Amino acid sequence: METESLALFQTGLIILVCLASVATLYTLLSPLLEGDALKKRMGALANEREGMRKDRMKQLDNPHGLRSESKGFVKKLVDNLSLEKLLAAPDLKDKLSQAGLRGQKPIYMFYMFRLIMPIVLLVFGLLYFVFLNPFEWRTMQSVSASFALMLLGYYAPGIYVKNKAGKRIASISPVFPDALDLLLICVESGMSIELAFGKVAKEMAENSIELAEEFSLTTAELSYLQSRRQAYENLGRRNNHVGIRAVSTALIQSERYGTPLGATLRTMADENRAMRVMAAEKKAAALPAKLTVPMIVFFLPVLFIVVLTPAGMRMAANLG
């Protein structure tokens, strides 16, 4: 029994010595086997960006996504009639982008409506004001009203795009400083600017879908465009907002001159937060002036009725 126990002890000791030797050799040789850590990290980062580029390109190439194109009747009509030259609108693509309408399809639809709506409203005006003439206007007045409807139909698509862009910016402006704070945290934690924009886009999707869409598109452009400056310029061009344009310019300068990105984002976040407070104070200061007319029209007559009615009833009773 003692001999067997000694043999087991020696066997276990040999196994422990072998394991310790293997562990020692692995510890000494593992740095040599890993190679250049910096090169490996940069390769992993390049693979990450390539995967992101492919994912974003798939999203942009989605026929129901941002780059969907109209290839049917509308496109043929616009091309055959040369409506882009006949009904040219300055900076139409930028205005549509500011309204969240990207690709070729919104451009063709804009020219289509700018052609059809004046004709439809002119015909409706002539039938309603001239032939039916429910207001018993003179012929010149009816024709003038019809042509006024025609002008309204011509400018209606532009008014719609402008209102849609205004609503979109109104939904982006309140949450944009918070998005800059998140972007600053991501950048200072070591993320690249592409990953930071993508992360913030996911986090801000619940608060503002429009801002998440803008940051996702910027992530895609940072991934597949040759110049980051172009991606930042596109971000400012797509959003007609002073704060976003200032951030775009600051990012371009940081990319060009090599200034610290974290300091730039911190300064821009403070400025946009101050702009948000100033906008709230401006609305609060304009509130008394806006309430003046409703108070005169609605509150004062009721107040006069409540105050003067009992006195009028007493006077009527005394005189009666």
pLDDT, tens digit (0-9, with 9 covering 90-100), for 220-275 = 888 888 788 888 888 888 888 888 888 888 888 888 887 788 888 888 888 888 88
**What is the residue-wise DSSP string for 110-142?**
HHHHHHHHHHHHHHHHIIIIIII-TT---HHHH
Which residue type is seen at 271? E
pTM of the model: 0.63
Q: Of 148, 167, 186, which residue sits at a domain end?
A: 167
Shared domain check, 179 and 163: no
Dist. CA 259–CA 319, nearest whole Å: 88
Is the domain of 273 the same as that of 182? yes
Q: Using only the alpha carbons of the chain, give its radius of gyration.
A: 34
**Mean pLDDT computed over 17-30:** 65
- CB contact burial 254-293 (16+ within 10 A = b; e otherwise): bbeeeeebeebbbebbebbbebbeeeeeeeeeeeeeeeee
Q: What is the pLDDT of residues 119-139, one digit of tens each?
A: 999 999 888 888 888 877 888
Is the pLDDT score of 68 beyond 50?
no
Q: What is the mean pLDDT of the chain?
A: 78
Average pLDDT rounded to a whole number, residues 154-178: 88
Last residue of a domain, one of 127, 146, 167: 167
The domain boundary residue, chosen from 167, 185, 220: 167
Are 224 and 51 a contacting pair, CB within 8 Å?
no
Per-residue pLDDT for 26 more than 80?
no
The token duo for 297 is 């029209």
Looking at the domain assignment, is residue 79 inside a domain? yes
Measure the CA angle with vertex 223, ends 219 and 224; round to 5°: 125
Work out the percent of the chain whose per-residue pLDDT is above 90: 1
- Is residue 273 a contact partner of residue 178, using CB atoms and an 8 Å limit? no
Q: State the residue range of the domain holding 119.
A: 73-167
φ and ψ of 190, to 5 deg: 110, 0
86 shares its domain with 161: yes
pLDDT computed for residue 319 by the predictor: 82
